[in-house]
Amino acid sequence: MKQTGLLFFPAFDWAITPTHPEREERLLYTRDLIFEEGVMDLQEIKEYQPRLAEIKDIARVHFCIPDIESQILKAHLIAAGGSLVMADAFFNKEIKNAFAIIRPPGHHAMTVSHGNRGFCNINNEAIMVEYIRKNYGIKKIVIVDTDVHHGDGTSEIYYNDPDVLCISFHQDGRTIFPGTGFIDELGTPQAYGTNINIPLIPGTTDVGIHYILDNLILPLIEEFKPDLIVNSAGQDNHYSDPLANMRFTAQGYAKLNTKLAPDIAVLEGGYSVETALPYINLGIIMAMAGIDYSNYYEPDYKSFSESPENMEYIKKMVNIQLENFRNREDVIAQNKKKRGKLIQDYKSVFYDTEFINEEQYNKYRVCNKCSGYRMIDSTAHHRDGKVVRVYCISIPSNSCSTCQEEAKSAYKDLIENSSFFDYIYLQDRLGDEYRSTNMKTNIEKVL
Ligand SMILES: [Zn+2]
Ligand SMILES: [Zn+2]
Ligand SMILES: [Zn+2]
């Protein structure tokens, strides 16, 4: 019998501020419950220790401004490294599935990272996915974000990637951070339909969420046929969570993991640290390990019924998203025909924890042989008046040689001919090489 891998890294010395919800003792009660119940000694469980992620593992996903070292602490390297340990154990077939209970969290960290957003600096799931793609040659991946907040970082990182299906259900962005995650955010024109959002009315219960799971998420996964399923596992949909307004229970979360059967789950949010988080985490462990949890409830368990109006809304949304997903190949083919060589978009990104306003102009090359490279012109306005403008070029791991060559020469041209930028970056996932040039000193670093 293969076991479930479990890795626990609570980062007891890392907090945003002493009173912040993402604080040191967030996993204290989870640790107590795991050790009191003797979970690590169960024959169904195999315990793992984290290691440090390498700087290159992070460069494969992010442009950290000005550089990775100044953006992160050791805790980030251990949390990201913990998910890589779980990935190695899974792909070396030591275990049947894995749950990395780690912090700091990561799903709000986007490709460009000027600082902390939504408690995240680097994206643990994306770092793991790119590591897996590089080391184990996996192509199609599904990431299901079960956190109450829109997994906007993960979604942004894979917005132009048709091989990664990002599904996020969350409390409606009009009522909660980060304010995004609506049903019309479906991916760029050449990855259309592979970014599926399910915004939920506050107060949605187990019934509504399981309807979506059974009628949308599971059918989508079956049709997409991924090589890997990742649960970006946030526990803040719980009815007692202080940061959100949903009515999900520990049983609801456990059953979700039984049905979803993720290969790897990575912890995200969950701020009801004493009365819910430990029980949800333990419920997920039991579900993944195949241990009976039918009589397992949080101490103040409440059951809720779903309103008929909300069920109507949910059914409508499920049908719309099924159609968007099923039409994706036709829409992508049409888009590639009618578009020119470039897709362009503009967005502004707010960093709630560090009060940074970022303006971003994106260009994606449209390519019939690969998903095309991406160019990002990003300006960050910091709280103290400091303005940093950078240019980032990203070559995807499935890049064709034409796109790779074009992107590399664009990087060289910019360094020689542009005076607008503080830093210029090149992320070549195909060649696994990462460059950055400080335009004031003209010093280039290569990873
Ligand atoms: Zn979500
Ligand atoms: Zn969250
Ligand atoms: Zn190409």
> Tens digits of per-residue pLDDT, 368-389?
899 999 999 999 999 999 999 9
Of the ligands numbered here, which is closest to the C-alpha atom of 373?
Answer: 3
Helix axes 308-326, 328-338, angle to 10 degrees: 50
For residue 4, pLDDT over 70 is answered with: yes
Place of tokens 């070396």: 92
For residue 10, pLDDT over 80 is answered with: yes
- Give residue 123's pLDDT: 98
Query: How far apart, in whole angstroms, are the C-alpha atoms of residue 238 and residue 274?
Result: 12
Report the separation in Å between the CA atom of 51 and the middle of ligand 2, taken as the mean of its atom positions: 25
Closest CA to 21 of 361, 386, 365, 270: 270
108 is catalytic: yes
147 Rama class: left (phi>0) / alpha (psi -120 to 50) / beta = beta
- Give residue 365's pLDDT: 95
| Percentage above 70 pLDDT, the chain | 100
Q: Which residues of 277-292 are buried (b: 16+ CB within 10 A; e: fewer)?
A: bbbbbbbbbbbbbebe
Answer for the pair 212, 198: CB distance below 8 angstroms, yes or no. yes
What is the average per-residue pLDDT within 62-84?
Answer: 96
**pTM for the full predicted model:** 0.97
Report the separation in Å between the CA atom of 108 and the middle of ligand 2, taken as the mean of its atom positions: 9
Domain 4-323 indexed as CATH 2.30.30.140:
no
Of the ligands numbered here, which is closest to the C-alpha atom of 400?
Answer: 3
- Give residue 19's pLDDT: 85
What is the average per-residue pLDDT within 310-317?
Answer: 98
Of the ligands numbered here, which is closest to the C-alpha atom of 364?
Answer: 3
Give the 3-state secondary structure of 30-64: HHHHHHHCCHHHCCCEEEECCCCCCHHHHHCCCEE
pLDDT digits (tens, 9 = 90+) for 100-153: 999 999 999 999 999 999 999 999 999 999 999 999 999 999 999 999 999 999
- Give residue 339's pLDDT: 67
Query: How far apart, in whole angstroms, are the C-alpha atoms of residue 181 and residue 152?
Result: 7
Cis omega (within 30 of 0) on the bond before 178? yes
Q: Which two tokens stand for residue 393?
A: 């070029």
Report the separation in Å between the CA atom of 300 and the middle of ligand 1, taken as the mean of its atom positions: 25
pLDDT digits (tens, 9 = 90+) for 278-288: 999 999 999 99
Task: Supply the mean pLDDT for the chain.
Answer: 96
Q: What's the first-to-final CA gap in the chain, in angstroms?
A: 41
Domain ranges of the chain: 4-323, 339-446
- Give residue 24's pLDDT: 86
Cis omega (within 30 of 0) on the bond before 104? yes
The one catalytic residue in 62, 107, 108, 150 is 108
Report the separation in Å between the CA atom of 43 and the middle of ligand 2, taken as the mean of its atom positions: 32
For residue 2, pLDDT over 70 is answered with: yes
Amino acid code (one letter) for 57: D
- Give residue 341's pLDDT: 84
Of the ligands numbered here, which is closest to the C-alpha atom of 232?
Answer: 1
Report the separation in Å between the CA atom of 372 and the middle of ligand 3, taken as the mean of its atom positions: 5
Amino acid code (one letter) for 195: N
What is the average per-residue pLDDT within 420-442?
Answer: 97
Report the separation in Å between the CA atom of 415 and the middle of ligand 1, taken as the mean of its atom positions: 39
| Percentage above 90 pLDDT, the chain | 94
Q: Which residues of 135-157 are buried (b: 16+ CB within 10 A; e: fewer)?
A: eeebeebbbbbbbbbbbbbbbbb
pLDDT digits (tens, 9 = 90+) for 183-233: 999 999 999 999 999 999 999 999 999 999 999 999 999 999 999 999 999
Give the 3-state secondary structure of the chain: CCEEEEEEECCCCCCCCCCCCCCHHHHHHHHHHHHHCCHHHCCCEEEECCCCCCHHHHHCCCEECCCHHHHCCHHHHHHHHHHHHHHHHHHCCCEEEEEEEECCCCCCCCCEECCCECCECCCHHHHHHHHHHHHHCCCCEEEEECCCCCCHHHHHHCCCCCCEEEEEEEECCCCCCCCCCCCCCCCCCCCCCCEEEEEECCCCEHHHHHHHHHHHHHHHHHHHCCCEEEEEECCCCECCCCCCCCEECHHHHHHHHHHHCCCEEEECCCCCCCCCHHHHHHHHHHHHHCCCCCCCCCCCCCCCCCCHHHHHHHHHHHHHHHHHHHCHHHHHHHHHHHCCCEEEEEEEEEECCCCEEEEEEEEEECCCCCCCCEEEEEEEECCCCCEEEEEEEEECCCCCHHHHHHHHHHHHHHHHHCCCCCEEEEEECCCCEEEEEECCCCEEEEC
What is the average per-residue pLDDT within 236-248?
Answer: 97
